[in-house]
Copies of this chain bind each other. A is one copy, B any other.
Amino acid sequence: MSLLVVGTVAFDSVRTPFGAVERVLGGSATYFSCAASFFSPVRLVSVVGGDFPDEHIQMLKGRRIDLDGLTCKEGQTFAWSGRYEGDMNEAETLDVHLNVYDDYRPVLPESYRDSRYVFLANGSPESQLKVLDQIDDPALVVADTMNLWISTALPELEQLLTRIHALALNEGEAKLLSGEQNLVAAGEKILTMGPRLVLIKKGEYGSFLLSRDGARFALPAFPVNQVKDPTGAGDSFAGGVMGYLARNDVHDDGSIRRAMVFGTVMSSFVVEDFSLAPFLRISEDRIWDRYHEFVRFITV
């Protein structure tokens, strides 16, 4: 079933205790699409500059990622630079150049209007709302957000919450948005704001799902013994989740639980090396092997 992502395609420069890379391929839509593409074709909506190399375009196209929605504009591609230290749970942003992303307003190709599964990667709620206006009848819309929008665009974010099915956010964001220190209370508060599902990402501590119908579900992270670069883990998680759901075109409680396991598996791969390198190496078999290994890891 059709799966759409709207987010960034970027150049990342990243330093971790295990090394450093300069201007490698990154961005929320990139991580999401590459992870999801193992399960389902993906439509990617984003913008890049004239400096974006053709080899990246070819890599994405080679992975069932439809780039009709990727605009190429004069100027430089969005560039982010950051580093991770200590327990590597949070990136310290060193530099951001929005470049062509600065005044970008996503316009979906006409052929994308029928998208059924939609992931609105982190972006301004205003822009996320405008994307939703361009989609006819989505079955499942999941949006990501961040502290910046909670602090500076709360009314728009609140409006967005009434129009999406699920909000994905990290622990600190959930606490900030809800004003609750306890994570369960935070998730329950957010459920009252509109979405029928709240998906809290806890990084190395796994993920936690709350559903308006009362279901609760938690997963630890897959135990990776060397996290080289956490960049893209959250978007790869979302990619695994949405890719799996779109593939089967179901989103009942059981499917979402299995989807979260696939999300966990995809994020566990991506952190094992810089940029998208792990996704370029693995096969579907490796994903299934790790899925089964993870299920053993959490089964009582």
A223 on interface, CB distance cutoff 8 Å: yes
* Set B86, B181, B219: member contacting A181, Cβ < 8 A: B86
For A206, the chain B residues whose CB sits under 8 A away are 205-206, 218, 220
Query: Which residues of A are at the interface with B, using a C-beta cutoff of 8 A?
Result: 17, 86-88, 181-185, 188, 202, 204-206, 208, 216-220, 223-227, 257-258, 261, 295, 297-300
Tell me how far the C-beta of A233 lies from the nearest C-beta in chain B, rounded to whole angstroms.
14
**Cross-chain pairs A/B with CB under 8 angstroms, 19 sampled:** A17-B181, A86-B181, A182-B224, A182-B225, A182-B227, A184-B224, A184-B225, A185-B226, A202-B205, A206-B206, A208-B220, A208-B223, A217-B297, A217-B298, A218-B223, A219-B298, A257-B299, A261-B300, A295-B300
Q: CA of A17 to CA of B208 in the docked complex: distance in angstroms?
A: 24
* Set B220, B226, B258, B261: member contacting A219, Cβ < 8 A: B220
Smallest Cβ-Cβ distance to A224: which chain B residue:
B184
For A261, the chain B residues whose CB sits under 8 A away are 300
Q: CA of A185 to CA of B205 in the docked complex: distance in angstroms?
A: 15
For A185, the chain B residues whose CB sits under 8 A away are 225-226
Q: Are B218 and A297 in contact (CB under 8 A)?
A: yes
Q: How many copies does the complex hold?
A: 2
Q: Which of A88, A202, A300 has the most CB of B within 10 A?
A: A300
Q: CA of A127 to CA of B157 in the docked complex: distance in angstroms?
A: 57
For A86, the chain B residues whose CB sits under 8 A away are 181
Q: Are B297 and A216 in contact (CB under 8 A)?
A: yes
For A257, the chain B residues whose CB sits under 8 A away are 299-300
Smallest Cβ-Cβ distance to A254: which chain B residue:
B300
For A183, the chain B residues whose CB sits under 8 A away are 204, 223
Q: CA of A218 to CA of B297 in the docked complex: distance in angstroms?
A: 6
For A298, the chain B residues whose CB sits under 8 A away are 217-219, 298, 300
Tell me how far the C-beta of A237 lies from the nearest C-beta in chain B, rounded to whole angstroms.
15
Q: Are A188 and B225 in contact (CB under 8 A)?
A: yes
Q: CA of A188 to CA of B87 in the docked complex: distance in angstroms?
A: 17
Q: CA of A220 to CA of B220 in the docked complex: distance in angstroms?
A: 6
Tell me how far the C-beta of A188 lies from the nearest C-beta in chain B, rounded to whole angstroms.
7
Q: CA of A226 to CA of B189 in the docked complex: distance in angstroms?
A: 13
For A202, the chain B residues whose CB sits under 8 A away are 205
Tell me how far the C-beta of A222 lies from the nearest C-beta in chain B, rounded to whole angstroms.
9
Smallest Cβ-Cβ distance to A220: which chain B residue:
B218
Tell me how far the C-beta of A27 lies from the nearest C-beta in chain B, rounded to whole angstroms.
26
Q: CA of A217 to CA of B188 in the docked complex: distance in angstroms?
A: 28
For A219, the chain B residues whose CB sits under 8 A away are 220, 298
Tell me how far the C-beta of A185 lies from the nearest C-beta in chain B, rounded to whole angstroms.
5
Smallest Cβ-Cβ distance to A86: which chain B residue:
B181
For A216, the chain B residues whose CB sits under 8 A away are 223, 297
Tell me how far the C-beta of A184 lies from the nearest C-beta in chain B, rounded to whole angstroms.
4
